[in-house]
């Protein structure tokens, strides 16, 4: 049976990036994916500057730019009649990016192959192999493959996670169902647009090849009715945001409208004897802030460092990878809850609009939001106690008929903060570094 130092199952963002780092470190790596890449996969397409920095480090940035990926230098956040606008400027060493996954995944896979990884696409993994309690390989439709370490980078429906019995925790139901399409609008302003208007949320920006990506978040309670006439309802939803509707307008759509249904937010156990999980296989959050690709790339780098530092014995490897898993959790808690708070079901509240109004009025508000989205600052730097208290007072004064709903929302936010505190406390109790 052929054997490798590391077998990575899943060859998209997390898997290809991890395989590249490990192969460059001198390890024998086998990269397996059931799909014939490149192919589509559900994605928000947006890559934060921290993720773009990883693409540059891997050598995948120039290839995606050569295929017309859109570099995003500005953003707008709209909550009903409140708008918050900003520019990246010199705040970050890289601009944001939007690129379709057919182009991004192909570039990353090519980089992994060039680094020396043994790439096997169109090869389905059917289960894991073990010796005692330790994973030591995988079974595939083409035969068994042995390994010193198995990494699942195979997404939400991870076969590796299922095979090793990795349980989920801190789960939360999905509040909205994303419906998106690509539109032949030609060259557009390189601006990321995030918004909530009426009962819909939005995520949109130009992408590669002269196309524009526009996504509508539909309340999960209304998706069945929405899908009965998806085309008409999608167009009607865009009209809630006139600036976005003016961009997409009656432009021809490239392909069908896509939908990602049946999702939820979770963390999974992500390390055990001879195995680890990375990217969506180990952690998935609400799509609203567009964090998934950057998370996958950054986790791949940090996991590669942990793997490289854990050579020597199985016990050292297990302990090191468990620490990596806990550190991943600790660094993810803040954005996990922030993502769920960005676009819950229903229309935006008066309190939410008032908070954004006050952030927009702050000369440093847009930059602070950008740094929060890039994970350079915690959300506490954006939602400061004075700002929240002032917004609450203004909401109660200006919308007295919404007093009960406002207090309910405050209670929900306090509950979320308590959940974050409990998660961190639990991590400390199990030895997680701060």
> Same structural domain for residues 299 and 372?
no
In tens, the pLDDT along 264-308 reads 999 999 999 999 999 999 999 999 999 999 999 999 999 999 999
Mean pLDDT score of the chain: 94
Do 314 and 239 fall into the same domain?
Answer: no
298 and 387 co-located in one domain: no
What tokens were used for 41? 């996969």
Same domain, 279 and 412: no
The count of structural domains within the chain is: 3
Q: List pLDDT tens digits, range 396-413.
A: 999 999 888 888 888 878
Domain housing 94 = 3-74+88-173+263-338
8 Å CB contact between 277 and 268: yes
Q: Is residue 277 part of a domain?
A: yes
198 and 148 both lie in a single domain: no
The CATH number of residue 231's host domain is 3.30.9.100
Are 167 and 188 within one domain? no
Mean pLDDT of 227-249: 95
Q: Does residue 8 lie within any of the structural domains?
A: yes
Name the H helices within 47-148.
49-58, 61-66, 101-115
- The 3-state DSSP class for residue 118 equals strand
Residues 360 and 390 in one domain: yes
Asked, for residue 81, whether it belongs to a domain, the answer is: no
Listed in sequence order, the residues at least 6 apart from 411 whose beta carbon sits closer than 8 Å to its beta carbon are none
283 and 295 in one domain?
A: yes
User: Is there a domain that residue 218 lies in?
Assistant: yes
- Pick the range with the lowest mean pLDDT from 51-65, 119-133, 271-285, 334-348: 334-348
Mean pLDDT of 135-149: 97
Residue 434 lies in a domain: no
Q: Is residue 14 included in any domain, yes or no?
A: yes
Structure confidence at residue 430 (pLDDT): 45
In sequence order, the 6+-apart residues with CB closer than 8 A to the CB of 269 are 166, 167, 169, 277, 325
> Nearest-CA neighbor of 193 among 213, 221, 175?
213
**pLDDT more than 70, % of the chain:** 98
Of 338, 357, 382, the residue at which a domain comes to its end is 338
Query: Are 142 and 236 contained in the same domain?
Result: no
Which whole number is the average pLDDT over 93-108? 96
Residue 418 has pLDDT above 90, yes or no: no
Sequence-ordered list of residues with C-beta below 8 angstroms from that of 391, at least 6 positions apart, any chain = 351, 354, 355, 357, 358
- 139 touches 175 (CB < 8 A): no
What distance lies between CA 382 and its chain's CA centroid?
20
Residue finishing a domain among 298, 316, 338: 338
Question: Can you give the pLDDT at residue 356?
Answer: 94
- pLDDT value of residue 410: 85
Q: pTM for the complete prediction?
A: 0.94
Give Cα separations from 293 to 3, 51, 81, 85, 260 (angstroms).
30, 7, 30, 23, 16
Residue 102 Cα distances to 36, 41, 99, angstroms: 11, 8, 8
For position 407, what pLDDT does the model report? 87
Claim to verify: residue 181 and residue 244 sit in the same structural domain: yes
User: Would you say residue 184 lies in a domain?
Assistant: yes
Grade residue 427 by pLDDT with cuts at 50, 70 and 90.
low
pLDDT tens per residue, range 315-358: 999 999 999 999 999 999 999 999 998 888 889 999 999 999 99
Which CATH number fits the domain that encloses residue 162? 3.50.50.60
Quickly tell me which residue has 């073990």 as its tokens.
Answer: 130
Same domain, 202 and 251: yes
Average pLDDT over residues 214-236: 96
Boundary of a domain, candidates 308, 338, 368: 338
Same domain, 15 and 151: yes
């Amino acid at each position: 049976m052929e054997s490798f130092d590391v077998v990575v199952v899943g060859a998209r963002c997390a898997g290809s990036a991890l395989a590249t780092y490990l192969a460059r470190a001198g390890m024998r790596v086998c990269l397996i994916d059931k799909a014939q890449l490149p192919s589509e996969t559900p994605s928000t397409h947006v890559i934060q500057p921290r993720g773009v920095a990883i693409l540059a480090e891997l050598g995948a940035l120039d290839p995606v730019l050569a295929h017309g990926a859109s570099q995003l230098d500005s953003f707008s956040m709209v909550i009903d009649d409140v708008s918050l606008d900003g520019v990246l400027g010199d705040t970050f060493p890289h601009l944001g990016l939007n690129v379709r996954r057919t182009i991004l995944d192909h570039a990353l896979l090519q980089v992994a192959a060039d680094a020396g990884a043994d790439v096997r696409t169109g090869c389905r993994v059917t289960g894991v192999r073990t010796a005692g309690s330790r994973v030591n390989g995988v079974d595939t439709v083409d035969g068994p493959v042995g390994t010193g370490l198995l990494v699942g980078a195979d997404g939400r429906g991870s076969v590796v996670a299922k095979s090793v019995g990795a349980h989920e925790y801190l789960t939360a139901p999905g509040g909205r169902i994303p419906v998106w399409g690509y539109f032949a609008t030609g060259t557009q302003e390189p601006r990321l647009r995030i918004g909530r208007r009426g009962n819909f949320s939005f995520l949109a920006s130009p992408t590669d090849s002269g196309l524009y990506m526009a996504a509508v978040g539909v309340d999960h309670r209304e998706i069945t009715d929405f899908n009965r006439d998806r085309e008409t309802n999608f167009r009607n939803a865009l009209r809630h945001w006139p600036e976005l509707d003016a961009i997409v307008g009656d432009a021809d759509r490239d392909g069908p409208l896509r939908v990602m249904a049946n999702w939820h937010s979770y963390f999974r156990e992500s390390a055990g004897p001879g195995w680890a999980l990375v990217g969506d296989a180990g952690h998935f959050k609400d799509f609203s802030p567009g964090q998934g690709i950057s998370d996958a790339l950054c986790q791949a780098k940090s996991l590669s460092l942990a793997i490289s530092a854990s050579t020597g014995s199985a016990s050292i490897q297990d302990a090191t990878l468990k620490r990596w898993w806990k550190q991943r959790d600790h660094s993810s808690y803040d954005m996990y809850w922030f993502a769920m708070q960005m676009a819950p079901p229903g229309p935006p509240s008066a309190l939410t609009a008032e908070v954004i109004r006050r952030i927009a009025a702050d000369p440093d508000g847009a930059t602070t939001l950008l740094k929060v989205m890039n994970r350079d600052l915690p959300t506490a730097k954006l939602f400061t106690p004075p700002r929240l208290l002032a917004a609450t007072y203004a909401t109660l004064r200006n919308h007295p008929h919404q007093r009960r709903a406002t207090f309910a929302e405050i209670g929900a936010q306090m509950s979320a903060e308590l959940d974050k505190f409990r998660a961190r406390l639990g991590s400390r109790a199990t030895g997680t570094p701060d």
